[in-house]
Amino acid sequence: MGLFTGKKGLVFGIANDHSIAWAITEKLHQEGAEMGFTHLPDKDPARPRMEHRVRKLVEPLGAKLITPCDVQKEEDIDRVFQQAKEALGGLDFVLHSIAYAPIDDLKGHVYDCSRGGFLQSMDISVYSLLAITRRARAVLNPGGSILTLTYLGGEKVIPGYNIMGVCKAALESLLTYLAHELGPVNMRVNGLSAGPLKTLSSSAVGDFDVMLKLYPAMAPMRRNVTAEEVGKTGMYLLSDLASGVTGEVVHVDAGFHVMGAPPADAKL
């Protein structure tokens, strides 16, 4: 009997097998969870690349639902939750592992970010958690848990993270307000702040390779984290093991976030 035996959930944000949402999904599956999954809508329905990539991964896990969702569209989110209700019934958890900023706005100075790019980045990376939580609140069983993914760039300036850092700051504030509002109905909202992992999204972040080299020099554990480690903690936060944890941001970053200056042995 696993931690998630008899539990059901919805996962937003698998793009491929490097996605953090996939690492967490693998752990949830090992513990017996039944899940539904969304993927980005394919631009050309005749060549459904996004759907294929996600389907190939999650079908072997016995996915109960595989459906497109653009979180910028209210009707998509409504449909997904309706489908999830039909396919799974009540839910026990929702994983939100989504972020996006237009590349020119992400790479440029924060002060150069266009109004449209700012709004789109905030819409996809922040508002989507609010929109998903609103629907989740209606279908989550008591004890239900919502988890989002964040990064240290929302707390401190990380050069190259730029406008996404501003989004993560807003996301981390948002999750505390949502935790406050959902606590009385016995639902939890938390964030997992992951150290750098090579994924589709992170490849767009400037100075990403610098960060990958910096962690083994700076972090208390003198190394980077693995996707599996992020997966394990994500699974924990969604599970009943974390039944008393809400409004929290748990860092899975080999301790990097506690350092204010390099250790004496750092080769920088």
Residue (of 86, 33, 42) closest to 63 by Cα position: 33
Does position 202 bind ligand 0WD by CB under 6 A? yes
37: which strand partners?
11, 66
Catalytic residue among 151, 177, 215, 236: 151
The span from the CA of 201 to the CA of 193, in Å, is: 15
Q: What is the DSSP letter of 226?
A: P
The span from the CA of 12 to the CA of 26, in Å, is: 14
Catalytic residue among 100, 111, 127, 161: 161
The span from the CA of 5 to the CA of 24, in Å, is: 16
- Give the nearest distance from C-beta 157 to ligand 0WD in angstroms: 15
Q: Pick the binder of ligand 0WD from 67, 162, 199, 239 (CB under 6 A).
A: 199
Site map 49..88 versus ligand 0WD, x via CB under 6 A: --------------------xxxx----------------
144 or 191: CB nearest ligand 0WD: 191
Sheet holding 8-12, edge to edge: 65-68, 34-39, 8-12, 91-96, 140-150, 188-194, 249-252
139 or 152: CB nearest ligand 0WD: 152
Residues that bind ligand 0WD (CB under 6 A): 13, 15, 18-21, 40, 69-72, 97-100, 124, 149-151, 194, 196-197, 199-202
